[in-house]
Amino acid sequence: MSSEGSGGVLLGIDLGGTRIKAARFSTDGEWESESQSHSNGREKAEEIFAKLHSVASDLIGSDRLAGVGVGVAGVFDAQSGRIVKSPNMPTLNGFDLRGQIQSAFGEVPIHIMNDANAAALGEFHAGAGMGAESMFLLTLGTGIGGGFVSGGEIWEGVAGVAGEVGHMCIQADGPLCNCGAKGCLEACVSSWALIRDANAAAGEKPDSPIAALPSLTPEDLAVLAAQGDEDARALWEKAGTMLGIGIANLMNLLNPECIVLAGGLAKAGDLLLKPARKTWEVQAFDRAHESTSVRMGKLDEWAGVRGAVQPLLRP
Amino acid sequence: MSSEGSGGVLLGIDLGGTRIKAARFSTDGEWESESQSHSNGREKAEEIFAKLHSVASDLIGSDRLAGVGVGVAGVFDAQSGRIVKSPNMPTLNGFDLRGQIQSAFGEVPIHIMNDANAAALGEFHAGAGMGAESMFLLTLGTGIGGGFVSGGEIWEGVAGVAGEVGHMCIQADGPLCNCGAKGCLEACVSSWALIRDANAAAGEKPDSPIAALPSLTPEDLAVLAAQGDEDARALWEKAGTMLGIGIANLMNLLNPECIVLAGGLAKAGDLLLKPARKTWEVQAFDRAHESTSVRMGKLDEWAGVRGAVQPLLRP
């Protein structure tokens, strides 16, 4: 379906540390086409924005733009329109994203939010959370992000920080996290935590299959575990157990209708889910884990792009 | 102010493991008078209910009853009107509380909820949370309870279990909790956890002032710590640190406008709060702990009674 002659097109953009993804939608939220560009954390802010502009312009073509929604990896300040802090794209710290979008695309409705919240809105309105009253999205990737959706909207908290489930402590005095705290969920189960533990395991057993891997990635560790390697299985078992604690905490604290798992690490499937389920069935109240379902995300890496336009859709 | 000649009186009741507390209110929520009766976990359900009825009848006197709100220590099932499970009053398991209230008081509006949620509503609408948009109540007592209030209402979750912050795991493989899980907040900081740790400390040092205490209570341990006893101080330091982790988790996950601390253990004040603050300032994101304020409850043990009538007030 084309939007020619209609109310124009909406653009959803996911501005991440390694890729800029964008898609165009009808004003009803119907997906029309998508495009992406690679970025890296070392480019200047102007270069990153030029790529965003280019990807976006190609998608808009000669159609009328009706609005732009952006999910950005970092803390965005809605009052100033600036990116406060973007750990993976430090050159964007302080960048006037809303102002630049306005200059580039004209006076159209613009909505900017955190990328994890955008992904949560996407899964809620068009993915695994469809039809639920409430949902918590857990994105399991390099780090761990999250977003709590209730009544169709993100619970943002008083200063927009809510949803930082990756930095919920589940192990007092546990492993040091990148955020400076200890025992955060992300420091116990995430790509970087898994690779840290795999390196330690390889160091302890220099003759093991793990130590023989040319590179330590979650994908390689999953293959090794599937082949029956005990050390690799133990790594996933530990990560899954920690994930189960995090999920149990969400069940007991928020008891949402569903918890949706997304992100690269979620692709490990049962390697992660089996020990996780075993754990949440003990750690969470029966009434909590029996009523909150755990589902896999449906929109994959495009959830954020879809969620970014949600606030701009015709009601 | 008397409610004579007005729209009648509302009754708020807090049905707990050791006491039945009740108060009468005008239909605007104005507090008029209160009364209480002691109970214990060994009485029959009929005996407990007879006490509730007696306390309530005295308060109503000859006035017209306009509604009854109850907060009950345990899991209440709104569909059947029955108490599903009350760990501290097991004789009430399965008790048809709504049916009995209806039989005793006639066809008036009745609202029954969990006691921690009732206390949260009370502090939100008439105590430390007044004027806030969102609030999380932490009741630090024998166990730990909680309730999340947003937009004036309790976030109950899909099966009414939400708010069980006492059973948020903050220490994977930590001390065993009464619920069967490990490392729950309640198993790390609560009256029973403190007494458990004090007993262990007394056992390790039979000549210490802690071991010389005639009984191990939080109050006695607070006095000892105030006198400078290092072992007692260490116990509070540890409990406060664990509390700080729990508070930091709520800040990062929900970023409410305020977190309100209530319950007997909160009376320890700085013994608990100083180490807690030191911890949450490290464990929570700056933007989170700078925007979420931590306050002491104002309604003390009467928060639940006030909150229980909230759903029955004239809008």
* Any domain includes A4: no
Residue B2 in tokens: 């008397």
pLDDT score, position A128: 98
Q: Return the CATH number at A278.
A: 3.30.420.40
Give the pLDDT mean for B281-293.
Answer: 96
* Any domain includes A3: no
Residue B233 confidence class, pLDDT cut points 50, 70, 90: very high
Same domain flag for A88 and A229: no
pLDDT score, position B6: 60
Nearest to B164 among A133, A158, A285 (CB): A285
Element holding A147 (H helix, E strand): strand A144-150
Same domain flag for A188 and A62: no
Contacts of A164 in chain B (CB under 8 A): 252-253, 285, 288
Angle value at C-alpha B117, between B114 and B119, nearest 5 degrees: 110
Same domain flag for A49 and A163: no
* Any domain includes B49: yes
Same domain flag for A111 and A37: yes
Residues of chain A falling short of pLDDT 50: 1-5
Phi first, then psi, for residue B136 (nearest 5°) are -115, 125
Same domain flag for A95 and A163: no
Same domain flag for A115 and A148: no
Q: Closest by alpha carbon to B283, among B244, B255, B310?
A: B244
CB contact under 8 A, A283 and B163: no
Same domain flag for A166 and A272: yes
Phi first, then psi, for residue A259 (nearest 5°) are -115, 125
Same domain flag for B96 and B135: no
Same domain flag for A243 and A172: yes
Q: What is the ipTM of this complex?
A: 0.93
Contact B130, B299 (CB under 8 A): no
pLDDT surpassing 60 at residue B63: yes
The SS3 assignment for B160 reads: coil
Residue B234 touches chain A, beta carbons under 8 Å: no
Contact A117, A136 (CB under 8 A): no
CA distance A55 to chain B (A): 33
* Any domain includes A139: yes
If one compares B189 and A315, the residue with the highest pLDDT of the two is B189
Same domain flag for B70 and B135: no
Residue A218 touches chain B, beta carbons under 8 Å: no
* Any domain includes A49: yes
CA distance B72 to chain A (A): 17
Same domain flag for B251 and B160: yes
Write out the DSSP string of A16-81: -SSEEEEEEEETT--EEEEEEEE--TTS-HHHHHHHHHHHHHHHHTTSPEEEEEEEESSEEETTTT
Residue A251 touches chain B, beta carbons under 8 Å: yes
Phi first, then psi, for residue B27 (nearest 5°) are -70, -5
How are beta strands A293-296 and B9-15 bridged, if at all? unpaired
pLDDT score, position A4: 47
The percentage of chain B sitting over the pLDDT mark of 90, rounded to a whole number, equals: 87
Domain count, chain B: 2
Domain span holding position B306: 9-120+302-312
* Any domain includes B140: yes
Span B113-152, pLDDT tens digits: 999 999 999 999 999 999 999 999 999 988 899 999 999 9
Phi first, then psi, for residue B251 (nearest 5°) are -65, -45
* Any domain includes B93: yes
pLDDT score, position A40: 78
pTM, full prediction: 0.93
CA distance B261 to chain A (A): 17
Contacts of A189 in chain B (CB under 8 A): none
Nearest to B158 among A133, A148, A171 (CB): A133
Residue B292 touches chain A, beta carbons under 8 Å: yes
Same domain flag for B87 and B220: no
* Any domain includes B215: yes
